[in-house]
């Protein structure tokens, strides 16, 4: 008998993969939920993001009409700091198992290695979506409260920060997606190199050293090209709500560049996980 939708055994193979994935998903959620450092790192990400964003909103002043500041991006400044905690959290999601040797137990329980990586990515995405949304909302609330006292008022052309405003909503949603993509880069890199300190160094280097290199380059055209491929510079373009024509890359295009980095990291990590011994 020919099975509907493909050759004999296709549905059985798909069912086996989904069975592996479902079991791995439950296991990964349990491991992540019970890991001692998980809650602390996610809380650190929320607190750092909100605190730095609130500090920036309190420090920057706009005394005149048309002062040129991007109030939304200012309130979301903390994402550039909170992402470090998210990256470390993502790296430890798999490198911790390599460090203790429990990855062998994981792969014995779920022989399909790509199902294991997919489950880790899914659980990681879910928890970072929640914590990232909390961090961004807290930042915007602090900005809404603090910015008017520094001259960011309707009289100066600044409406109160609100998710009802299209550009503000795009910046908020984009910032949450940005943090998810940073987490996926961390997961992919850690899967590839397996050692926590090395993986953290690579991810933080991509995020924070890339902009330094850009500043060293003297040619403005090359600077622009490097900003267009830099994970952080391109990804955070999604936060901009004014002067979009001056950006090296558009908001959603920049987030697409970051998604490309995440996809490449996961692809390399997945290939190495599949092809080598645990």
Is residue 12 assigned to a domain? Answer: no
Is residue 8 assigned to a domain? Answer: no
Is residue 233 assigned to a domain? Answer: yes
Is residue 3 assigned to a domain? Answer: no
Q: How many CA atoms lie within 13 A of 143 on its CB side?
A: 30
The answer to whether the CB of 165 falls within 8 A of the CB of 159 is yes
Is residue 201 assigned to a domain? Answer: yes
Is residue 52 assigned to a domain? Answer: yes
Within 10 A of 234 (CB to CB), how many other CB atoms are there?
26
Q: Model's pTM, two decimal places? A: 0.91
Is residue 15 assigned to a domain? Answer: no
Q: Six-digit token pair at 138?
A: 């807290």
Read out DSSP for 264-275? HHHHHHHHHHHH
Is residue 107 assigned to a domain? Answer: yes
Angle, helices 196-204 vs 166-193, to 10°: value is 140
Q: Which of 211, 236, 198, 243 is nearest to 49 (CA)?
A: 236
Q: Six-digit token pair at 30?
A: 């349990």
Which structural domain range is residue 217 located in? 24-275
* Structural domain count of the chain: 1
Within 10 A of 189 (CB to CB), how many other CB atoms are there?
28
The tens-digit pLDDT sequence of the chain (278 residues) is 333 334 444 445 455 556 667 777 888 788 777 766 777 899 999 999 999 999 999 999 998 877 889 999 999 999 999 999 999 999 998 888 888 778 888 888 877 888 889 999 999 999 999 999 999 999 999 999 999 999 999 988 899 999 999 999 999 999 999 999 999 999 999 999 999 999 999 999 999 998 898 889 888 899 999 999 999 999 999 999 998 999 999 999 999 999 999 999 999 999 999 887 76
The pLDDT assigned to 17 comes to 59
Angle, helices 220-229 vs 251-275, to 10°: value is 60
């Amino acid at each position: 008998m020919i099975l509907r939708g493909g050759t004999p055994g296709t549905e059985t193979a798909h069912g086996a993969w989904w069975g592996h994935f479902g079991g791995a998903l439950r296991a990964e959620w349990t491991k992540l939920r019970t890991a001692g450092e998980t809650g602390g790192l996610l809380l650190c990400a929320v607190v750092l993001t909100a605190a730095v964003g609130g500090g920036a909103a309190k420090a920057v002043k706009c005394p005149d009409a048309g002062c040129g500041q991007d109030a939304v991006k200012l309130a979301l400044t903390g994402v550039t700091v909170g992402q470090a905690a998210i990256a470390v959290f993502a790296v430890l999601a798999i490198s911790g198992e390599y460090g203790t040797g429990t990855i062998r137990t994981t792969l014995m329980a779920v022989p399909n290695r790509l199902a294991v990586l997919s489950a880790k990515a899914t659980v990681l995405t879910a928890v970072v979506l929640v914590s990232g949304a909390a961090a961004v909302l807290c930042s915007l609330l602090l900005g809404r409260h603090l910015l008017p006292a520094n001259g960011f008022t309707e009289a100066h052309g600044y409406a109160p920060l609100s998710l009802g405003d299209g550009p503000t909503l795009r910046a908020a949603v984009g910032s949450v997606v940005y943090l998810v993509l940073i987490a996926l880069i961390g997961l992919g890199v850690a899967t590839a190199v397996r050692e926590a300190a090395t993986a953290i160094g690579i991810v933080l280097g991509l995020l924070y050293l890339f902009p330094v290199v850009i500043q060293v380059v003297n040619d403005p055209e090359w600077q622009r090209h490097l900003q267009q491929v830099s994970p952080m510079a391109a990804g955070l373009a999604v936060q901009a709500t004014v002067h979009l024509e001056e950006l090296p890359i558009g908001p959603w295009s920049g987030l697409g560049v970051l998604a490309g980095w995440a996809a490449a990291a996961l692809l390399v990590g997945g290939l190495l996980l599949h092809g080598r011994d645990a």
